[in-house]
Amino acid sequence: MDDQIAIAAFNERNPESKKQAIIFVEKLATCYDDAMIMENEASNITEAAEILTSSEFDFLEATITICKSEIFLKHLNKNKKMILESNKQKRFRYHHFHSYTPINQMMGTIIGTLVRIQCYSSTVTAFTDSINLTIKELHSLSYPTPFIKKTLKKLYNKDRTKWSALKNIMKTL
């Protein structure tokens, strides 16, 4: 079994509804084989009741925000704090541009990241914010702007509808 997420909703005005949601999540946690365990990805949350009332948590490569009856996803860049503070990576994600890594491998790595960002972004704003942060991270590793533009353009030309937000990002580079 791979990673999975369960989000249970309930009516705050109906205590029975909340109780049923908690029971559902607790039963889901015990449905694994004895050799497998279900871990809570949300930071330090140990009880189903706490998970249900959390409004924002990280899961894999996404930050999930629950706002009333809507769920929003934003790509989670675990280097965000360090990039914004010191322009350095905390976790190694990309080779320095002047390393001995082949250019096509660097471009492929970036394209893979952009595809994941697109998958983990439920709004255009979340998508553009995440792309801009990734560009800042790449600049900190001496990736030249023309190379970054070429990579973005490659995706944009592949599917202009799916990657339409890249057009505005390329204009600002």
- Over residues 47-105, the pLDDT tens digits come to 555 555 557 788 888 888 877 677 888 998 888 888 888 888 788 888 889 999 999 99
Using alpha carbons only, what angle is made at residue 40 by residues 70 and 132, rounded to the nearest 5 degrees?
55
- Alpha carbon of 44 to those of 39, 73, 92, 100, 156: distances in Å? 10, 20, 25, 41, 40
Same domain, 162 and 90: yes
User: For the ranges 2-11, 22-31, 41-50, 100-109, which has the lowest average pLDDT?
Assistant: 41-50
Please give the residue range of the domain that contains residue 57.
15-73
At 155, the pLDDT band (50, 70, 90 cuts) reads very high
Q: Indicate the residue among 73, 88, 119 that finishes a domain.
A: 73
Claim to verify: residue 39 and residue 104 sit in the same structural domain: no
109 occurs within a structural domain: yes
89 falls within a domain: yes
Question: Are residues 35 and 89 both part of a single domain?
Answer: no
On whether residue 40 sits in a domain, the answer given is yes
Residue that is last in its domain, among 73, 88, 104: 73
Is residue 36 located within the same domain as residue 84? no
Together in a domain, 87 and 158? yes
Average pLDDT over residues 119-139: 93
Q: How many residues does the chain have?
A: 173
Provide the number of structural domains found in the chain: 2
Q: Is residue 120 part of a domain?
A: yes
**Cβ atoms within 10 A of the Cβ of 48, count?**
20
d(CA 9, CA 22) in angstroms, rounded, equals: 9
10 C-beta neighbours (distance < 10 Å), count:
17
Determine how many CB atoms are found less than 10 A away from the CB of residue 66: 16
Sign of the dihedral through C-alpha 37, 41, 46, 50: negative
Domain contains 2: no
In a domain, 60, yes or no: yes
Q: How far is CA 31 from CA 23, 27, 63, 117, 161, in A?
A: 12, 6, 26, 31, 41
- How many other CB atoms are found less than 10 A from the CB of residue 19? 12
Residue 5 lies in a domain: no
Cα angle for residues 132, 135, 138 (degrees, 5° grid): 155
Instruction: Give the predicted TM-score (pTM) of the model.
Output: 0.73
Rank 16-30, 35-49, 117-131 by mean pLDDT and report only the highest: 117-131
Instruction: Determine, yes or no, domain membership for 3.
Output: no
Examine the domain organization and report whether 84 and 161 are in the same domain. Answer: yes
Please state which of the ranges 42-46, 79-83, 108-112, 158-162 shows the lowest mean pLDDT: 42-46
Name the pLDDT band for 154 (thresholds 50, 70, 90): very high
